[in-house]
Amino acid sequence: MANIEVFQAHILEAGVLDPPNIHHQFVSGKHGRKLDFDTIETESDLYKEWVSANVDFINQEFPQTPEVILGVANGTNRLALDVARHFNGQTLGLVSEKDPDNSKVLSLNWLSARVISAIEPDLVVIVEDVGTTGSNSVQVAVHARELGAKKVVVVPTWQRQPSLSKLDEAGISYIPIIGETLPTFDEVDCKALGFCAEGALFIPREK
């Protein structure tokens, strides 16, 4: 069974979170230390620990085995497939995709959509890497619900804000594995009293 505190320590040791002297601009325009789970190599021990943490957490939090584990493109599609394999054939691993013309728009890919429509699962668990507002995972969750999923729950590995506003607005439940808030500032506040004011290197978002 994965020890969540040890797993979190390993995330920090691996540099998945920006060090205190560096911060990024997020999609929302806000500033904060970035968590980048894409830096975790699939064959690494940390990735295996990430998978185990999700498997153990799902077993702990859900009385029923989910029929579907669903990934959020592109960050957790690989995670969803590998987590699902640990449920001895009882659970399908499915993926989502980004619109090729607009990377901010996500939906289930055609195969995942057909499967959800066909089986209308009682429980779909969406694995997400970082929860900031839920703007990506909410699109996948709502699509799954529209296709016939009876219950959809998002499991962020690290929820960096006290609440995920986009999921709250859509009425989608979420349960984080790590629920440690990380400071996030509007641009003006960051320059006045946040990372910018402290002189931390600022890395703007790539367009």
For the segment 125-170, what is each residue's pLDDT rounded down to a tens digit? 999 999 999 999 999 999 999 999 999 999 999 999 999 999 999 9
Q: Tell me the CB-side half-sphere exposure of residue 153, using CA atoms within 13 A.
A: 18
Determine how β-strand 22-25 pairs with β-strand 31-32. Answer: antiparallel
Full-model pTM: 0.94
Question: Which pLDDT tens digit goes with each residue over 163-199?
Answer: 999 999 999 999 999 999 999 999 999 999 999 999 9
Let me know: does 6 contact 184? Beta carbons within 8 Å: no
Residue 89 pairs with which residues in a beta bridge? none
The token duo for 20 is: 């205190």
The 10s digit of each residue's pLDDT in 16-72 is 999 999 999 988 889 999 999 999 999 999 999 999 999 999 999 999 999 999 999
Summarize pLDDT for 84-93 with one digit per residue, the tens. Answer: 999 988 999 9
Please list the helix, strand and coil fractions of the chain in percent, rounded to the nearest 5, in that order.
Answer: 35, 25, 40
Cα–Cα distance, 122 to 150 (Å, whole number): 5
Cβ neighbours around 162 below 10 Å, total: 8
| 3-state SS, one letter per residue, for 58-112 | HHHHCCCCCCEEEECCCCCHHHHHHHHHHHCCCCEEECEEEECCEEEEEEECHHH
